[in-house]
Amino acid sequence: MNARPPIAMLAELTHRCPLSCPYCSNPIELARIDSELDTETWKRVFREAAEIGVLQLHLSGGEPASRRDLTELIAAAREAGLYTNLITSGIGLTERRLHELDEAGLDHIQLSLQGTDAAMADDIGGYRGGFDRKMQVAGWIKEIGFPLTLNAVMHRRNLHQLPRSIELAVEMGARRIEVATVQFHGWALKNRDTLMPTMEQARETDAIVTEARKRLKGMLVIDYVPADYHSDYPKRCMGGWATTGLNVTPDGEVLPCHAAQTIPHLQFDNVRESHLRDIWYDGSAFNAYRGTDWMQEPCQSCDRKLKDFGGCRCQAMAIVGDAAATDPVCIKSPHHGALQLQADAHAHSDRKNLVHRTAPGKPIPEPAE
Amino acid sequence: MIDREDIPFLPRGVRLHFDKVRDQWVLLAPERAVTLDQVGQAILSELDGIRSFGTITEDLASRYNAPAEEIAKDTGGFLGALLDRRFLELRR
């Protein structure tokens, strides 16, 4: 298999987080603090990443600011030649710490947004005072002059706040906003009844984004992740399995995407035992769905197969029960009709209570019946 | 549209980087890595935060012995696209 070098690496430094968002992309089984990679191992992994061609390093979590060695890690990543992007809720960042990150060479900050007011944001994040703190952090980010992307995670509860989210991004001096409709993996799967947007909301969101892109051209770049259960074609997940990026979990497992552990037959290598180069090129999980040989019909004979690579493997696993199946979002999938009905049922559910994610090592809640 | 007097520069968080693994120049920006061809790299390495767009394009025209008008048009198109993506800023 001829694979090209990876461009991006997502380093999930920890699963610890002060927030407990009900759509958290972390796995249901969270890594505990005593299993986290230590500072020196992460530094080595950053050097290995740069050696094999990674250009962009996304430092995420959990909340990466929960790592006390964050500044040292960012300095090491810059030293290795990587472009460093901190993906944070802002909680845990003080003004002083932001100045230290500035000195360490941090290139860019991506700040998450759970809602445009404290009532919404603190309810979703499960952390009282979180919104006010975030606004304070956003002010420091602007003062220091870090380039900023606002990452607005949207769902049925807060989609009416999208126009205000876009305004907030402009006020914060962000160059970019990601309008990211919740992707239903991990914890979000437990909350489809409360978070699934309606078809009408999805189409209205398309219109708001189109209008704002035109109006704010040259001022604010808008990246948009539409509600994919309500789409006709699947997303080009990860730009194609094992073509562009890799993900390292807090305990050192290397994944082709953040949800890959939901595919039960895959085996993952660990940075404690292997060089990233060997994992990227020869790891069995990376080669499982690389290219197009693994595809079934209707993907195999489809003229879109190099466009979307059959969509998301984890979604095919979660909904169809076969990770090599066509993503059921696709209109060519025999499961597309059922998915649309299911999406519609979730979107019109009366359920109100959210299942918030827990802390590493704590019991996993189930939605109340 | 970039005027002759505008001084184009790469803002904080956007930088030129030589990618040793792929043996090519790239422009690194928030969540993007843009592969640069020789022309793109030549244009961006002219940006010093001091010289104006007009001066830069005249310099490029004389160095590559090409018509100044054509260079200004091509450079303007390239930089204009970066401007729209917030990878470039202008000052007077």
Contact residues on chain B for A145, CB-CB shorter than 8 A: 12
- Residue A369, pLDDT above cutoff 70: no
B27 by DSSP, 3-state: which? strand
Contact residues on chain A for B32, CB-CB shorter than 8 A: 56
- Residue A216, pLDDT above cutoff 80: yes
Contact residues on chain B for A52, CB-CB shorter than 8 A: 21
CB-CB: which of B13, B33, B86 is closest to A7?
A: B33
Q: CB–CB of A108 and B28 under 8 A? A: no
pLDDT for the residue B1:
80
pLDDT for the residue A176:
97
- Residue A302, pLDDT above cutoff 90: yes
Task: Quote the percentage of chain A above a pLDDT of 70.
Answer: 99
**Beta strand ranges found along chain A (DSSP E):** 8-12, 56-60, 83-88, 108-113, 148-154, 176-181, 221-225, 245-248, 254-255
Write the pLDDT tens digit of every residue in A66-124: 999 999 999 999 999 999 999 999 999 999 999 999 999 999 999 999 999 999 999 99
Write the pLDDT tens digit of every residue in A314-327: 999 999 999 999 99
C-alpha distances (whole Å) from B88 to each of A169, A305, B10, B17, B43 are 19, 35, 5, 15, 12
Q: What is the ipTM of this complex?
A: 0.94
pLDDT for the residue A362:
85
For residue A363, name the pLDDT band (cuts at 50, 70, 90). confident
Do residues A181 and A165 make contact, with C-beta atoms less than 8 angstroms apart?
no
pLDDT for the residue A361:
85
Average pLDDT of every residue of chain A? 95
In angstroms, the separation between the Cα of residue B63 and the nearest Cα of chain A is 31
Segments of chain B with pLDDT less than 50: none
Which candidate, A225, A110, A121, A118, places its Cα nearest to that of A174? Answer: A110
- Residue A2, pLDDT above cutoff 80: no
In angstroms, the separation between the Cα of residue A53 and the nearest Cα of chain B is 5
Give, for A121, the enclosing helix (H) or strand (E). helix A118-125
**What is the rounded CA–CA span in Å between residue B11 and residue B29?**
10
Cis peptide before A264 (omega within 30 of 0): no
C-alpha distances (whole Å) from A368 to each of A14, A21, A132 are 29, 17, 31
B31 lies within 8 A of chain A by CB: yes
In angstroms, the separation between the Cα of residue B62 and the nearest Cα of chain A is 31
Cis peptide before A62 (omega within 30 of 0): yes
- Residue A18, pLDDT above cutoff 70: yes
pLDDT for the residue A56:
98
- Residue A206, pLDDT above cutoff 70: yes
Least confident piece of the model among A33-37, A362-366, B49-53: A362-366
**What is the rounded CA–CA span in Å between residue A231 and residue A299?**
17
What backbone torsions phi and psi does residue A301 show, to the nearest 5 degrees? -105, 15
How many contacts (CB atoms, under 8 Å) link A and B? 59
Pick the residue from chain B with its C-alpha nearest to A217.
Answer: B84
A326 by DSSP, 3-state: which? coil
Write the pLDDT tens digit of every residue in A130-171: 999 999 999 999 999 999 999 999 999 999 999 999 999 999
B23 lies within 8 A of chain A by CB: no
For residue A368, name the pLDDT band (cuts at 50, 70, 90). low
User: In the predicted model, what is the mean pLDDT of residues A37-41?
Assistant: 98
- Residue A340, pLDDT above cutoff 80: yes
**What is the rounded CA–CA span in Å between residue A177 and residue A111?**
9
Contact residues on chain A for B19, CB-CB shorter than 8 A: 53, 55
- For helices A130-144 and A118-125, what crossing angle results, to 10°? 100
In angstroms, the separation between the Cα of residue A221 and the nearest Cα of chain B is 6
Q: Are strands A148-154 and B15-19 parallel, antiparallel or unpaired?
A: unpaired
- Residue A182, pLDDT above cutoff 80: yes
- Residue A1, pLDDT above cutoff 60: no
- Residue A367, pLDDT above cutoff 70: no
Q: What's the whole-model pTM score? A: 0.95
